[in-house]
Amino acid sequence: MTPDTLDVPKHVAELRAAQPDWEALGVRGRVRWVRRYADWLLDNADRITEILASEGGKPLVEAKIEFAVPVDIIKYYARNAEKYLRPNHPAPPNLLNRAKRVTVTHRPYPVVAVITPWNFPLGLSLMDSIPALLAGAAVVVKPAPATPGAVRAAVEGWAEIGAPPVFSVIAEGDDAGRALVEEADYIQFTGSTEVGRKIAQRCGERLIPYGLELGGKDPAIVLADADLDHAARGIAWGALANAGQMCTSVERVYVLDTVHDEFLAKLTAHVRGLRRDSDVGPLVTEDQFALVSGQLDDARAAGARVMVGGGTDPERRWIEPTVLAEVDSTMACVCAETFGPLIPVIRVSSEDEAVAAANATDYGLSASIWTSDRRHGAHLAARLEAGAVNINDAHANIFYFTAPMDGWKNSGMGGRLGGAAGILKYTRPQTVTKPRVSVSYQRHLLWYPYTRKRTELVGRLLRALAATGRRRLG
Ligand code: NAD
């Protein structure tokens, strides 16, 4: 379903009308459609990954990873949806409540809007949409205007397999995003902190729930005992994959004084060997090119040393992978989100200084620690203000989708994935109570009339339930 002329309220109304039948299919029925859809995606993998690589300029291997990860997530949720959505029967909290049989079901928010950015248009759109569909919601995706092609091609497959009309795409601009925030029942947003905050405000006014995955300024801490070859390669990949346009990109590297020079030399040498396009592609948009090259110019002007890289090609939105030394915390490349291929390296004299500097940001998405002592690394992780900490690796948590991805501070709210949490977030619990045996109205203790005798009896009963010792039985 791709509307030619956009009428967001009408579009959402159509999804809303189709959703009850989708929910009524039950989890098994929905799983069957989602499995068929995953097969369709695999059958169309080459075509979709080519669109993805060409519209964003990313290396084909990165497009393939972006395609493969959500398909894996789809299969995972298809396997586990029934278990996660199974109704449950909470135990009675006390004797009086034994008269009831209670069932809690997980009922979907009818229409979920998934609004995504341009850096991982396909991956983010699918990994948020499919759990919502399995939960029984209808889903509309709104990709970023710069990269609508792969998402549009992928969502077309839903109609092609003949699935119910509960999954659609609105490949339009920011206005369509704003309109969806007015119409949908749940907003799952990935993008900038600035827009996320506006969405949260509007959702607050409408009293609808939302999940926000926002920006980051992820620190890496290289300890004195780190394997420096491993750290240099891991941090280069952590900072430069997808040309640094990842929310979890390494954007600041704090290195203990004793190993700083050796690490910097190794990182510089490794980055020098990377190839244009096949390892690191261009930036996706002109705005992003202007932002990142502006940060590079500012850092240079303020005295930063370019160890490698520093070249730019505005026509192709290309910025050479760049290692910067002698930077300080006043420079934008250290204190503001970059989202591009710059790696500022900062010398610190102690672990305490590294931790304090790493935490000195409004963001808190993820972080990495590089050390030979993994136990110490885990200990240090507990001092970092970040939703995830990877030891001796970068981005690792985002592939481990049974664990939650949850930004702290200005990096998000509500998170994504995380096993059962990743699907239950699209549902509301509904509690249904029913009597185990029929009780006539005359014997119902809590109903009118409030006679003195009944009041006394109820008082005694409740006191007996609450009392822990004979003395308090009253
Ligand atoms: P953006 O916030 O400008 O736009 C994201 C999406 O929101 C687009 O589809 C856009 O059209 C839409 N939009 C814009 N204004 C809107 C409004 N007022 N209401 C509703 N929708 C609106 O972000 P971007 O520039 O496309 O992406 C880059 C940002 O995304 C970076 O800050 C990056 O860190 C973040 N990001 C975060 C994660 C994460 O998981 N935490 C992942 C990827 C990207």
* Mutation choice for ligand 1 from 141, 174, 217, 242, CB with most ligand atoms inside 8 A: 174
pLDDT for the residue 474: 62
* Residues noted as catalytic: 213, 247
Tens of each residue's pLDDT in the chain, 474 residues: 444 447 999 999 999 999 999 999 999 999 999 999 999 999 999 999 999 999 988 899 999 999 999 999 999 999 999 999 999 999 999 888 999 999 999 999 999 999 999 999 999 999 999 999 999 999 999 999 999 999 999 999 999 999 999 999 999 999 999 999 999 999 999 999 999 999 999 999 999 999 999 999 999 999 999 999 999 999 999 999 999 999 999 999 999 999 999 999 999 999 999 998 889 999 999 999 999 999 999 999 999 999 999 999 999 999 999 999 999 999 999 999 999 999 999 999 999 999 999 999 999 999 999 999 999 999 999 999 999 999 999 999 999 999 999 999 999 999 899 999 999 999 999 999 999 999 899 888 889 999 999 999 988 888 888 877 676 666
What are all long-range contacts of 450-454, with beta carbons under 8 Å and residues at least 24 apart?
A: none
- Ligand 1 binding pocket (C-beta < 6 A) is 115-120, 142-145, 173-174, 177-178, 181, 190-192, 195, 198-199, 213-216, 247, 337, 339, 365, 407, 412
DSSP for 347-375, written as a single string: EESSHHHHHHHHH-SSEESEEEEE-S-HH
CA 196 to ligand 1: nearest atom: 2
List the residue whose alpha carbon is closest to atom 17 of ligand 1: 178
CA 180 to ligand 1: nearest atom: 20
Smallest Cα–Cα separation from 394: which of 371, 374, 373, 369?
369
CA dist 19 and 184 (Å) reads 12
pLDDT for the residue 410: 98
CA dist 147 and 38 (Å) reads 22
Q: Give distance in angstroms: CA of 117 to centre of ligand 1.
A: 4
CA dist 338 and 330 (Å) reads 14
pLDDT for the residue 3: 46
CB burial of 303-317 (b: ≥16 within 10 Å; e: otherwise) equals: ebebbbbbebeeeeb
Tell the residue number behind the tokens 């934008």, with chain if given: 332
250 half-sphere exposure, CB direction, 13 A CA radius: 34
CA dist 147 and 120 (Å) reads 9
State CA 70 to chain mean position distance.
12
Tell the residue number behind the tokens 């006043």, with chain if given: 330
Q: Give distance in angstroms: CA of 259 to centre of ligand 1.
A: 37
State CA 370 to chain mean position distance.
24
Fold classified for 5-214+417-428 = Aldehyde Dehydrogenase; Chain A, domain 1 (3.40.605)
* Mutation choice for ligand 1 from 178, 198, 247, CB with most ligand atoms inside 8 A: 247
The SS3 call for residue 431 is strand
List the residue whose alpha carbon is closest to atom 15 of ligand 1: 174
List the residue whose alpha carbon is closest to atom 43 of ligand 1: 247
What are the tens digits of pLDDT across the range 360-399?
999 999 999 999 999 999 999 999 999 999 999 999 999 9
The torsion of the CA quartet 385, 386, 390, 395, rounded to 10 degrees, works out to: -150
Query: What's phi and psi for 112, nearest 5 deg?
Result: -105, 130
Q: Give distance in angstroms: CA of 201 to centre of ligand 1.
A: 16
Q: Give distance in angstroms: CA of 189 to centre of ligand 1.
A: 7
Q: Give distance in angstroms: CA of 194 to centre of ligand 1.
A: 9
Does the bond joining 108 to the residue before it have cis omega, within 30 degrees of 0?
Answer: no
Give yes or no for a contact between 334 and 328, defined as CB atoms under 8 angstroms apart: yes
* Mutation choice for ligand 1 from 190, 217, 397, CB with most ligand atoms inside 8 A: 190
Strand 412-413 and strand 408-409: the pairing is unpaired
Give yes or no for a contact between 228 and 345, defined as CB atoms under 8 angstroms apart: no
pLDDT for the residue 469: 67
- Domain made up of 218-400: CATH architecture: 3-Layer(aba) Sandwich (3.40)
Q: Give distance in angstroms: CA of 120 to centre of ligand 1.
A: 11
What are the tens digits of pLDDT across the range 93-139?
988 899 999 999 999 999 999 999 999 999 999 999 999 999 999 99
Residue extents of the structural domains in the chain? 5-214+417-428, 218-400, 441-473
